[in-house]
Amino acid sequence: MDKKSLQDVNSGTRDLYQKAVQAGKKKNYDYGIKLLLGIVSKNPTLMPAREKIREFEACKSDKVGIVGKIIARFKSSSQLPKIKALSYKEPLKAMRMCEEVLAEFLYNSAILNLLADAAEKAGALYIGIEALEVIHSYAPNSESNLRKLAALYKKNDDAMAALKVFQEIAGRHHDDIEVQAELRSAVALASMQKGDWEKEGSSQEKVKDKDEAVMQQLESGTIHDAGQADIVIAKYVAELQKNDSVDIRRKLAEAYFVKKDYENAQEQYEAIQQKLGRLDPTIDKKIEKVYLLQVDSSIEELKQNPDQYEEPEQQIAELEQHKLQYCLDKATSRVEIYPHDGLLRYDLAVIYFDSDFVEESIEQFQQARNNPQRRLASMVYLGRCFQQNGQTDMAVEQFIEALKEMKTMTDEKKNTLYCLGKAYEQSGKTEDAVKCYKDIYQKDVNYKDVSKLIMLR
């Protein structure tokens, strides 16, 4: 797909472009983006329109607060599987969908990556490069993005641009033999642009990774600091270019997690989910976990630097509510796909309970109770649900039934006895309540307020 200039389109398109430019001068970016989106959708290779829409999107996105950024990324997540599927068979349609999402918020790595993939399929490498350059502008430390960008530069016969990227990567890994070898190859390619470099690197000898011990630690899940994670990331990002496998992406995600680079970890887990072609509850929970950690990071930023944000308390409250809704949506979707999984129903029930949706949680706990792993916990929660509904006789029955299966004084049993004591108090059975508190006291005098409750009786 060849690039187009304004001279290559009709007068009507040129007029719309000029209207968009004028809107931008008045800082009416939403209207300008709307006009440019229509142009780019019909003429994806019209470069002046592409450059201007990115400019306006950046101006708009730079003003979005923490809450807005998180919610924008969350809203776009539902589009990812559909765009991914289209990028193979209908890349131009996938590109249009990507542009629609980016018009709302530009700094979306997942969507920009899909745009790059679709553009490559459509034979518009320069559009893919543009998308990855946007990611580099706000996430300069993403090595996976740098490597993908270098690969597109090479494919686009721009060896000098690829060399600059490899110089940036190599600058972070001075002692990594493989990375330095990649840099030397990039230098050679840049110096002989016209040569046949498809076989480049085939004669290079493989060297033993001096960080093999760290790689073994990853295999056993024991890497524990960012320095080790960097070694692992460099290794697997390179391997991913040769073998895009679920196993490599999983290890890469784990390394990003150790480094606390949760956005890249989420990107890898989402890629795994797409490769599997179905919802895997374990991977889905990992996606949920790293996403929530990103939200928590934003909340912490608001708490630590309230003077730098408008209405930080309101933003914190909105993010907390967003977290709850996100967890509820995730848990609900997992149960819809796997309705007979008692563990998933238990997870959903707990969220309902914590959100004060008592009736909904009762239904889920009753089904989760059939799972041996969550049987006792579900019974205790059911008792607490009945207790909240004022159905204390039913609550007592649940607690007593659960206690029959608890042979030792674990934390779970202490909690159940405590709940039973409270239920007895609600029923006016003070002596029975005190007996429950004393049973706990004999094993743990510091458990909650049992000492005080006994003294008051």
All domains of the chain, ordered by start, with CATH?
370-456 (1.25.40.10)
For residue 165 the two structure tokens come to: 């990227």
Enter the pTM of the model: 0.62
The one-character DSSP state at 225 is S
Distance CA 309, CA 432 (A): 53
DSSP 9: S
For 47-80, what is each residue's pLDDT tens digit? 999 999 999 999 999 888 888 888 887 878 878 8
Kindly tell me the sign of the dihedral angle through the C-alpha atoms of 118, 121, 122, 124: positive
The pLDDT tens digits along the chain (457 residues) read: 888 888 888 999 999 999 999 999 999 999 999 999 999 999 999 999 999 999 999 999 988 888 888 888 787 887 888 888 888 889 999 999 999 999 999 999 989 999 999 999 999 999 999 999 999 998 888 888 899 998 898 888 888 888 888 888 888 877 778 777 777 877 777 766 544 434 444 333 333 443 455 555 555 555 556 666 777 788 888 888 888 899 899 988 988 898 888 988 999 999 999 888 889 999 999 999 999 999 999 999 889 888 888 888 999 999 999 999 999 999 999 999 999 999 999 999 999 999 999 999 999 999 999 999 999 999 999 999 999 999 999 999 999 999 999 989 999 999 999 999 999 999 999 999 999 999 999 999 999 998 988 886 6
Q: What are phi and psi of 4, to 5 degrees?
A: -120, 150
Distance CA 398, CA 355 (A): 21
What is the dihedral sign for C-alpha 368, 370, 372, 378? positive
Closest of 188, 147, 152, 148 to residue 166, by C-alpha = 147
pLDDT score recorded for residue 64: 85
In this structure, which amino acid lies at residue 425?
E
Q: Tokens for 368, please give them.
A: 């989760």
3-state secondary structure of 46: strand
CA distance 346 to 373: 10
Supply 10's token pair: 């009709």
Tokens of 118: 């679709």
What is the separation, in whole angstroms, between the first and last Cα of the chain? 83
Structural contact between residues 396 and 423, judged by C-beta atoms closer than 8 angstroms: yes
The reported pLDDT for the residue numbered 201 is 42
Residue type, 49: A
Residue 77, Cβ density class (10 Å: 0-12 exposed, 13-18 middle, ≥19 buried): middle
CA dihedral 153, 158, 163, 164 (to 10 degrees): -80
The model's pLDDT over 115-144, given as tens digits with 9 standing for 90+, comes to 999 999 999 999 999 999 999 998 888 888
Measure the CA–CA gap between 101 and 113, rounded to whole angstroms.
Answer: 12
Structure token pair of residue 308: 């730098």
SS3 4: strand
Cα separations in angstroms, 98 against 42, 94, 147, 278, 399: 14, 6, 22, 22, 53
Helix pair angle (262-276, 80-89), 10° resolution:
60
How far is it, in rounded angstroms, from Cα 154 to Cα 189? 9
The torsion defined by the Cα of 198, 201, 203 and 207, in degrees rounded to 10, comes to: -160
Q: What is the pLDDT of residue 217?
A: 53
- Structure tokens given for 208: 């033993």
pLDDT of the residue at 98: 93
d(CA 381, CA 357) in angstroms, rounded, equals: 13
